[in-house]
């Protein structure tokens, strides 16, 4: 089963659709197969962006589904669970819908359904620092009883203003649960760059290929650098143990830590065998026993889902795009073409190379 990622925020204009685009870019850049569901019947920008000229091969399907209080339509969102049988799912929620989502959870016994099938459920709560939106974050956790990831959108307020907003909530007796908060921070994007993304209904990928007033090579690079920062923020959360535990904040045992490390190494192709461990994480006398049936079944599904995926490394120099089969070739070419890069300090050079050399999924027939 896949993971269902709800993107919400309860208030309009806080950046829900904008963050949904970022999350879609994260899945594409990491070579994941996934489906998108648009739940906003008023502002259907996510459906518009990805159902037309921005369709990626990573997207299995994109559909619209609405949360309704009508008795005959209360089960329509069950489509999300069916879709999760194939892949991960991204759900773009409209403002003011968390109560209806909570009703669906209650009537459809969604938590129990997820436990039975192994599906994982998360809600990325987007907030721009508005006091009302902060208050609704606390209420949302009561209405939708799954792990929330707080998305701190810096587009409207700076850090000092955010602190004032949080202090105001404390003075009002609003408990935001800061101690257990899982959080990502989304920085500011320039005016023209943001306008280009919103007015042209482009994705972060397709915006690099269009002509738009005020959007030149430098502005396109700014968008790319901004996106890379966002993807690193999401990466940090995806590696958090909250995503290893189905949304429950629990302490992992040494054996579970080992199994997590094994899965990460397997994904990197480092080895294809396991070592038996006891509950303390120590090797047993059985030693290496090859691939277990349980793991083999999980791998087979991953391999089948990703068998058509391959990668390329892309370097932008001016308006020209250069593609390479491996990262080393791409880095060496960039260093050979731009004077002064080799003179940078080690840390600065590594940051530049990470920003300028982009891993991208390509599809083989």
Q: Report the CATH fold assignment for 3-244.
A: Rossmann fold (3.40.50)
DSSP secondary structure string, 153-211?
ETTS--HHHHHHHHHHHHHTT----GGG-EEEEE----HHHHHHHHHTT--TTGGGG--
pLDDT at 91: 96
How do 283-290 and 274-277 pair as beta strands? antiparallel
pLDDT at 102: 92
DSSP state of 78: G
3-state secondary structure of 103: helix
pLDDT at 47: 92
DSSP state of 215: B
Spell out, as residue ranges, where the chain has pLDDT lower than 70: 53-54, 179, 240-311, 319, 360-365
User: CB neighbours (10 Å) of residue 21?
Assistant: 26
H/E run at residue 111: helix 110-117
**Domain segments of the chain as ranges:** 3-244, 254-306, 309-363
Closest by Cα among 130, 124, 113 to 147: 124
> Rounded to two decimals, what is the model's pTM?
0.67
Half-sphere exposure of 318 (CA within 13 A, CB side): 3
What is the tens place of the pLDDT at every residue in 218-261?
999 999 999 999 999 998 888 765 555 444 333 345 555 566 56
What lies within 8 Å, CB to CB, of 163 at 6+ separation is none
Closest by Cα among 172, 86, 106 to 134: 172
What is the tens place of the pLDDT at every residue in 50-105?
987 667 888 999 999 999 888 788 888 999 999 999 999 999 999 999 999 999 99
Contact 108, 13 (CB under 8 A): no
Closest by Cα among 220, 163, 196 to 228: 220
Contact 241, 255 (CB under 8 A): no
């Amino acid at each position: 089963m896949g993971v269902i990622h709800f993107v919400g925020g309860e208030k309009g204009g806080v950046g829900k659709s904008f963050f949904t685009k970022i999350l879609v870019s994260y899945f594409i850049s990491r070579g994941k197969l996934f489906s998108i569901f648009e739940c906003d019947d008023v502002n259907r920008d996510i459906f518009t962006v990805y159902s037309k000229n921005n369709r990626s091969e990573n997207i299995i399907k994109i559909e619209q589904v609405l949360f309704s209080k009508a008795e005959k339509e209360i089960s329509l969102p069950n489509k999300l669970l069916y879709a999760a049988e194939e892949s991960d799912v991204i759900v773009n929620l409209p403002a003011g819908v968390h109560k209806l989502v909570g009703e669906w959870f209650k009537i459809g016994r969604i938590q129990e359904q997820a436990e039975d099938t192994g599906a994982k459920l998360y809600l990325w709560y987007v907030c721009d620092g508005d006091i009302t939106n902060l208050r609704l974050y606390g209420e949302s956790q009561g209405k939708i009883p799954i792990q929330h990831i707080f998305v701190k959108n810096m587009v409207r307020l700076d850090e000092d203003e955010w602190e004032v907003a949080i202090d105001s909530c404390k003075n009002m007796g609003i408990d935001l649960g800061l101690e257990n908060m899982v959080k990502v921070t989304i920085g500011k994007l320039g005016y023209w760059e943001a306008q280009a993304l919103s007015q042209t209904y482009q994705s972060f990928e397709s915006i690099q290929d269009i002509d738009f007033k005020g959007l030149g090579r430098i502005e396109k690079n700014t968008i790319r650098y901004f996106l890379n920062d966002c993807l690193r923020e999401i990466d940090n959360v995806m590696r958090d143990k909250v995503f290893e535990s189905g949304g429950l904040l629990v302490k992992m045992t040494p054996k579970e830590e080992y199994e997590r490390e094994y899965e990460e190494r397997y994904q990197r192709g480092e080895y294809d065998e396991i070592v038996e461990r006891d509950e303390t994480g120590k090797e047993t006398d059985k030693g290496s026993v090859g691939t277990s049936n349980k793991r083999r079944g999980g791998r087979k599904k991953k391999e089948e889902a990703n068998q058509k995926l391959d990668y390329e490394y892309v370097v932008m120099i001016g308006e020209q795009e250069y593609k390479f089969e491996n990262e080393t070739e791409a880095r060496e070419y960039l260093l050979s073409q731009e004077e002064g890069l080799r003179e940078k300090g080690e840390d600065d050079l590594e940051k530049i190379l990470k920003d300028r050399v982009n891993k991208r999924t390509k599809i083989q027939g």
